Structure 1
Amino acid sequence: MVRRKGLALIDVIVGSAMLSIGLGVVISMSSRSLIQQADAERQITASWLADELLTMALVVGPDEYEKSYPDSGQFEAPFSKFTYEITFEDQSQYQPVEVMATVYWDVSGTEHSLVLETLIARRHGEDVDRTPAEPVDRDARYWEEIEAREN
């Protein structure tokens, strides 16, 4: 019977090498996924902020927005890491205004940006009175529905 000395040592060395390679792959994948998750979080936040800018321009109207609000700046806390720029391209008095909201943020010295565009129609004429003809009593409606279900 021939004894193989050192075979167990080689098995341990090969096993350790395979284990270290496997752990290295798992750690690098975890690191990459955390980086991508943080980047996705920033992109979602930037899209929310850009949507807020466009919604405000829609609610106020493009002409009034340009008079009342700055066209660039920094968002208030807790979004102070994000800056914005909003531009209005006007073609004619009776054509929709092309509005472009750009949100910028910085990650490790690299600037990233997100751009959202939309068309907003101008308001012509006087504002429409949108108050209801009769007051809305939501509580009464709610209780009427409950009573109708019980009967």
Structure 2
Amino acid sequence: MRRFASHAVSRATRARRGIALVEALAGGTILGIGLAVLVSIASDASARMRIGEERIVASWLIDEMLNMIVVEGPVEYLKRYDLEGQCAAPFERYSFKLELQDQGDIEPYRVTATITWESGGRPRSETVQTYIAVRRGETQIENRKPGEPITR
């Protein structure tokens, strides 16, 4: 009689062990899927961060070009600078293209600035279009001394 009871306990123990094994396999599978999702999210976030950094650099370069056009004036800028080319170090992987369109005597120039670069095997670009007025009536003031002495 004892023999049958021992045999029944053994079957119950084996069944519990089998269920525990199935639970462990299911838990491991769920954990693996969760880990794969986390790695995918981290990879996507890293790629988006890199693209964001590249776009920030492109905006800096566009801002620099537009500021130089404002400082020099569109007419002088056209005489002194290239309208297309590769950006200076350390931004050699970026290229620029400027279009300055004269709108007439009293209208501002339409300026289109484009920065292009390659990222992840794909060409990318940022473009800004604005209007910049011609510098008029500014004469060089050679004597910049104040008319009266300044006392402090």
Instruction: Give the TM-score taking structure 1 as reference length.
Output: 0.83
Residue of structure 2 in register with 1:121 after alignment = 133
Deviation at 1:101, TM superposition (A): 0.6
Aligned length: 138
Residue matched to 2:6: none
- Give the % identical residues: 36
The aligned counterpart of 1:45 is 57
What is the CA–CA distance in structure 2 between the aligned matches of 1:46 and 1:82, rounded to whole Å?
8
**CA distances 1:98-139 after superposition (whole Å, capped 9, x unpaired):** 11110001013211110112211112234253946279x9xx
- The aligned counterpart of 1:55 is 67
CA distance in 2, matches of 1:134, 1:119: 37
AA at the equivalent of 1:56: M
Structure 1: tracts of 5 or more residues without a match: 142-151
Instruction: Look at both structures and tell me which one has the larger radius of gyration over its CA atoms.
Output: 2
Q: Secondary structure at the match of 1:92?
A: coil
Gaps of 5+ in 2: 1-8
Secondary structure of 1:101's aligned partner:
strand
CA pair 60-109 structure 1, distance change in 2 beyond 3 A? same
Q: Is the 8 A contact 1:90 1:98 kept in 2?
A: yes
TM-score normalized by structure 2?
A: 0.83
Distance change in 2, residues 1:109/1:132 (3 Å): farther
Which residue of the partner structure matches residue 24 of structure 1?
36
Task: Determine the C-alpha separation between the residues in 2 that align with 1:20 and 1:133.
Answer: 77
Looking at structure 2, the residues matched to 17 and 132 of structure 1 have their Cα atoms a distance apart, in angstroms, of 81
Identify the residue that residue 111 of structure 1 maps to in structure 2.
123
Contact 1:51 1:116 in 2 (8 A): no
Does the CA-based 8 Å contact 1:74-1:80 persist in structure 2? yes
Within 5 Å, give how 1:2-151 maps onto structure 2. Answer: 3=12, 4=15, 5-127=17-139, 129=141, 131=144, 133=146
Q: Following the alignment from structure 1 to structure 2, what is the Cα–Cα distance between the partners of residues 74 and 134?
A: 47
* Counterpart code for 2:106: Y
Once residues 127 and 104 of structure 1 are traced to their aligned partners in structure 2, the CA distance between those partners, rounded to angstroms, is 37
Task: Say whether the 8 Å CA contact 1:101–1:117 is kept in structure 2.
Answer: yes
Q: Secondary structure at the match of 2:64?
A: helix
Distance of 2:75 and 2:141 partners within structure 1: 20
Aligned to 1:149: none
**Superposition RMSD in Å:** 2.3
